[in-house]
Chains A and B, each alone.
Chain A
Amino acid sequence: MNSLFTPLSWSDSGLILTGVWNTIIISVVAIVVGTVLGLIVGFLRAESNKAVNVLFGSVLDVLRSVPLIIQLILFSTFVGAMGNPLAPFVAGSIVLSLYTMAFMSEVFRSGFESVSPSMQIAARSLGMTKWQTIYHIRLPIGLRAVFPSWLGVSLSVIKDSALVSVIGYMELLRTSEQLISRTQQPLEILIGVGIFYFIISYPLSHYGRYVERKMAI
């Protein structure tokens, strides 16, 4: 149908792979940073009193309820206006990580809170210190309890990473858009992209269910 456009060819695989790689790398960064920060914030929230929690909670609420695409645009516009524009990868990583952290912190908070006070008293009565109790009892039990939710958040971060394309990050969706405008073959390309997300997510969620069953306690 299209002598005007160059059809998809093997020489495009480099571009596609760059997109795949960039999607993976920004997802991994956001999941790792979001998990670490989420653990800390989730623990502080489970431990702290009401006042601190209300303060923390409202910041997290904002992060969770403002659409990610708006956060991305706002952040990169704001930073750009300050005179030091960040590379799309850096800006995207920061926003996506904080967004992930907001969800992870709730996941971990409920994990920490799922370990009953009487379980902790039992550990302390054996002579364990507060930190030993956290490390050997609260953390492992709490993390097991929320593993499925953690995986769920992680999977949606992989999908949400597509939105970082709006600030110019060359992840999979954006490279596909470029290819589409050149080749005019949106169907093939978007189906390919869809299959990629499926190939990543499906085994992970299956693996998650497997681990969940193994850890069932």
Chain B
Amino acid sequence: MISVQNVHKSFGDLEVLKGVSLDVNRGEVVSVIGGSGSGKSTLLYCINAIEPINSGKILVDDVDVHAKETNKDKLRQKLGMVFQQWNSFPHMTVLENAALAPRIVKKMSKEEAIEIAKKELEHVGLGDKLDVYPTKMSGGQQQRLAIARALAMKPDYMLLDEVTSALDPELVGEVLDTLRLLAEEGMTMICVTHEMGFARDVSDRVAYFHQGVIAEIGEARQVITDPQNPLTQKFLSKVR
């Protein structure tokens, strides 16, 4: 379980997270929606210990993420993360991209790492691209590679930060289908997204972020189709 408890986070004088609390259970998919600059990405970065927090607490399977004694590199192995920019490693083939971390982080043998990488690449529909260099692929394919690369570490959780926002519209579908597949397989996910249809159909719950706080959180369909908070209503009427 991921448990975010009253987290405050500032960049200099700018307080970006103003007391955020959120529990995500194993097997649950939570979508995070909200306006630009409301702190959605920052929350994911704090969960993954990429950014430190000022106060509050974040627990991942009861491990305090930001405690001094926590091995953050080890912790990140549990938390797969995919970003808006796919950040393929351009000097490696698709297969090498996905096999690198299992090999050097988990110290698997080369054969083992390649086997796992292959499996995850097939999983996201890139089984025929193993020896291609990622820059020769479309954005949608590279984003699926990023997902496979994260999955090859066998994470318990996936943190997804607007993974379709940088894609051409015709490529969004293939990536969302991949995420839908993961959700059906029971992967625990926190998805920051602007795709309201995806949030409504795929997630269990939706959290609406407004200026550093969760202004509304609830069952996905209810939040998207029948929001209670006037702020959520306003936001949703704008993005529709």
**A140 touching B91, Cβ below 8 Å:** yes
B40-96 interface (Cβ within 8 A of A): 48, 50, 73-74, 76-77, 79-81, 83, 85, 87, 89-91
Number of interface residues of B (CB under 8 A): 26
A217 part of interface (Cβ distance < 8 Å):
yes
B153 part of interface (Cβ distance < 8 Å):
yes
**B133 touching A127, Cβ below 8 Å:** no
Q: Report the bound CA distance from A100 to B146 in whole Å.
A: 39
Nearest CB of chain A from residue B154's CB, rounded to whole Å: 11
* Most chain A CB inside 10 Å of its own CB: which residue of B76, B91, B146: B91
Kindly identify which residue among B76, B104, B135, B150 contacts A217, using a CB–CB cutoff of 8 Å: B135
A137 part of interface (Cβ distance < 8 Å):
yes
Chain A neighbourhood of B83, CB < 8 A: 118, 121-122
B183 part of interface (Cβ distance < 8 Å):
no
Chain B neighbourhood of A129, CB < 8 A: 73
Nearest CB of chain B from residue A137's CB, rounded to whole Å: 6
Nearest CB of chain A from residue B65's CB, rounded to whole Å: 13
Kindly identify which residue among A119, A122, A136 contacts B104, using a CB–CB cutoff of 8 Å: A136
**B79 touching A125, Cβ below 8 Å:** yes
A102-135 interface (Cβ within 8 A of B): 116, 118-119, 121-129, 132
A144 part of interface (Cβ distance < 8 Å):
yes
Further contacts, 6 of them, CB under 8 A, given A125-B76, A126-B77, A126-B101:
A122-B87, A124-B76, A125-B50, A127-B77, A127-B105, A140-B91
Interface residues of A (CB under 8 A from B): 116, 118-119, 121-129, 132, 136-137, 140-141, 144, 217
Show 28 A/B contacts (Cβ-Cβ < 8 Å), sorted by A: A116-B87, A118-B83, A118-B87, A119-B89, A121-B50, A121-B83, A122-B81, A122-B83, A124-B50, A124-B76, A125-B50, A125-B76, A125-B79, A125-B80, A126-B150, A127-B73, A127-B76, A127-B77, A127-B101, A127-B105, A127-B106, A129-B73, A132-B105, A136-B100, A136-B104, A141-B89, A217-B90, A217-B133
